[in-house]
Amino acid sequence: MTTLEESTVLDTRVLEMNMGPQHPSTHGVLRVKLKLDGERVVDAECIIGYLHRGIEKISENRSYIECVPYYDRTDYIAAVSNVYGFLLGVEKMMGIEVPERGRYIRIMMVEFNRIASHLLWLATHAIDIGAMTVFLYCFREREEILKLFEALFGARLTTHAFRVGGLWKDLPPGFEQEARKFLDEFPARVDEYEQLLTENRIWLARTKDIGVISGEEAIEWGLTGPPLRGSGVDYDLRKAQPYGGYEDFDFDIPLGENGDTYDRYVARIEEMRQSRRIIQQVLERLPDGPVRGKAPKIVKPAAGEYYSGIESPRGELGYYIVSDGSAQPFRVKIRPPTFIGLQALRRLVRGHLMADVVAIIGTLDIVLGEVDR
């Protein structure tokens, strides 16, 4: 027992602590400078840029077609979406029509990518919080999707999925059966994750009321994707500004209410089910025909500018393409959802315990390749 006099002379400084850049739960090379008052976080500052490769600068020095594989390497977890967003912009500027079969296959692959990305998120988010089993289960399912990628694109991660005007080639034989098989099994698998987590007391204690943000504030911070929808804002570019043929399909946008880590978890889980719904509709309606439209050999959009935004698994991914009429883009500005969303980390962790920082970083679903570009 200390006397009152003794305790008043104890020094209670705010402790500054580094988390990362080599820390497994920061999902890459993120460094967070935490200011701690005991176990409580007073302030947090993100230091990024360790993975900056200057992809926007490289884009200005390559032709439009040569740019495409670089965007695989921004958000390497959702490489298919990245390429898709850029190509939609270029095709719009050039007035290139993608045949229906090509459009549908693109949507199918982008949705497969969304599932794969959310599975990776769930796996790492769960293991960060301490649920080991889910990690193994999620990677099992993700592997099936990567096999499909390999069959169609020839690569698992940096897929260079699409080409100007459509796809490189049509679906390989047996692809549809494999995809259907996966879709048939998948709902039971998602139920399995939910059994492990959704009503798990430890999971609830670690995620409920952690990192709460209101809808209005989320908009002000520029959050998009599941972090925004977890706060109840109905904004999904697939519905708000339909692109590439999404208006043909039925799906719901899952919304949260409280804007906490748990709601964002529920939103992403439900999104996986909705993505499956979209893919099923694609497979049912998949028309015959070419997968690639008429596209010129050299891509030279007329001088002008276009902002092409899509809903990537992480939120609004935008490509602002400025053309000066030459074969190389004058400027390609990538609007990465997690670069902008990561700013909100400072706001979200304030007042929480040190251990919750890990949960909040996980719930933002950052990919440092995209943050740093």
Partner 1 sequence: MSEEDKTQPPESEGEAVEKSGTRGEPQASESKGSEEKKEPAQAVPPTAAKEKPVKPPVRRAKKKAPTYEDLVDDPLLKNLQQKFSEGILSGQSFLDQATYTVSLEVLHDVLLDLRDGTEAQYDYLVDLTALDYLGDEKRFCMVYHLYSHSQKNLIRLRCAVADGESVPSVTDVWKTADWMEREVYDLFGIDFSDHPDLKRILLPDDWHGHPLRKDYDIKLQDQVWIKEHLQIRKTPE
DSSP helix/strand/coil, 327: coil
**334: part of which helix (H) or strand (E)?**
strand 331-335
108: left (phi over 0), alpha (psi -120 to 50) or beta: alpha
Distance CA 310, CA 236 (A): 9
Q: How far is the CB of 174 from partner 1 (least distance, A)?
A: 22
Which one, 342 or 359, has the nearer CB to partner 1?
342
Beta strands in 142-257 (DSSP E): 162-163, 166-167
**112: part of which helix (H) or strand (E)?**
helix 100-129
Is the C-alpha dihedral spanning 130, 131, 133, 138 positive or negative?
negative
Which one, 50 or 135, has the nearer CB to partner 1?
50
Distance, CA of 227 to chain centre: 11
Which one, 130 or 168, has the nearer CB to partner 1?
168
Token reading at 358: 């890990």
Does residue 372 interact with partner 1 by CB under 8 A?
Answer: yes
Binding mask 23-62 for partner 1 (x = CB under 8 A): -------------------------xx--x-x-xxx-xx-
Does residue 306 interact with partner 1 by CB under 8 A?
Answer: yes
Q: How far is the CB of 261 from partner 1 (least distance, A)?
A: 20
Does residue 353 interact with partner 1 by CB under 8 A?
Answer: no
For partner 1, the binding residue among 330, 350, 353, 355 (CB under 8 A) is: 330
Q: How far is the CB of 295 from partner 1 (least distance, A)?
A: 6
Angle at CA of residue 190, ends 187 and 196, nearest 5°: 145
For partner 1, the binding residue among 241, 258, 280, 328 (CB under 8 A) is: 241
DSSP helix/strand/coil, 180: helix
**196: part of which helix (H) or strand (E)?**
helix 175-197
Does residue 343 interact with partner 1 by CB under 8 A?
Answer: yes
Which one, 195 or 326, has the nearer CB to partner 1?
326
Q: How far is the CB of 183 from partner 1 (least distance, A)?
A: 29
Distance CA 48, CA 90 (A): 30
Summarize as ranges the residues that interact with partner 1 (CB under 8 A).
48-49, 52, 54, 56-58, 60-61, 65, 92-95, 163-164, 168, 219-222, 233, 235, 240-241, 292, 294-300, 302-307, 309, 316, 318, 320, 322, 325, 327, 330-331, 333, 335, 339-340, 342-343, 347, 372-373
